[in-house]
Amino acid sequence: MIEVGAFSITPLQRLVDIDGETPDGQASSGRGRLYDVSDGGESRLTVRDTSWANGERDVVATERHDSPQRFDTLVARLRLAVLPHGSAFYLELRQARLKANGRANLFVPDEQALDAGAGIAVLRELEQHGATRVGTRETLLDDTDRTRTRLGAVFPREAELVPLVAYVCTRVAPVAQSLQA
């Protein structure tokens, strides 16, 4: 079990085989590892970290249990894409924020908004769990297009928990706080 702010992430002893679509939109098969994400109070989700046959990964909630209804917006939605980047992985830190209709969309936060939504210093937390570089797409990927200011992280393949930590910080914690768009 690991602690991320107010949440604990506990691996479950279950793997699931998945046929579906990778973050880049390719039909593929994969294997998902399940985790219990809980704040010890009203919020408890089952989250799946899927490794796809093409080398991509993603993280998404699969069940909200008895958590408040606002967590429905995460179940099978707003997955965190984890893409190969050379011999490492890259992920973006877009933040879930609830709209007036109760559904969340992903927004591009600055570091201050990211930390406020998670309740912790997110970039530092990612580094503590194995991210080797955190910053903008421009800094990390030499990106020059309109998405160059998005925050992200690069991490080695063996830093298995970075995507789960990022998912809790950018999806679960903001929804738990009812962060509004």
Structural domain count of the chain: 1
**Arithmetic mean of pLDDT, 134-149:** 94
Q: What pLDDT does residue 125 have?
A: 97
Q: What is the pLDDT of residues 85-136, one digit of tens each?
A: 999 999 999 999 999 999 999 999 999 999 999 999 999 999 999 999 999 9
Amino acid at 65: H
Considering the domain boundaries, does residue 99 fall inside one? Answer: yes
Whether residue 104 contacts residue 173, with contact meaning beta carbons closer than 8 Å, is answered with no
Q: What pLDDT does residue 50 have?
A: 98
How far apart are alpha carbons 33 and 54 in whole angstroms?
17
Q: What is the pLDDT of residues 30-76, one digit of tens each?
A: 999 999 999 999 999 999 999 999 999 999 999 999 999 999 999 99
**Element of type H or E holding 159:** none
Considering the domain boundaries, does residue 80 fall inside one? Answer: yes
Considering the domain boundaries, does residue 181 fall inside one? Answer: no
Q: What pLDDT does residue 76 have?
A: 97
Burial letters 106-123, b for 16+ CB under 10 A, else e: beebeeebbbbbbbbebb
Q: State the pTM of this model.
A: 0.96
Q: Give the start-end residues of each E strand in 22-87.
A: 27-38, 44-52, 57-63, 80-85
Cα 175 from chain centre: 12
What range does the domain containing 18 cover?
2-176
Nearest alpha carbon to residue 181 among 84, 91, 83, 78:
78
Q: What pLDDT does residue 7 have?
A: 98
CA distances from 108 to 6, 92, 117, 176 (A): 23, 9, 12, 18
Q: What pLDDT does residue 70 have?
A: 96
**Arithmetic mean of pLDDT, 13-32:** 96
Q: What pLDDT does residue 90 have?
A: 97
Q: What pLDDT does residue 72 have?
A: 97
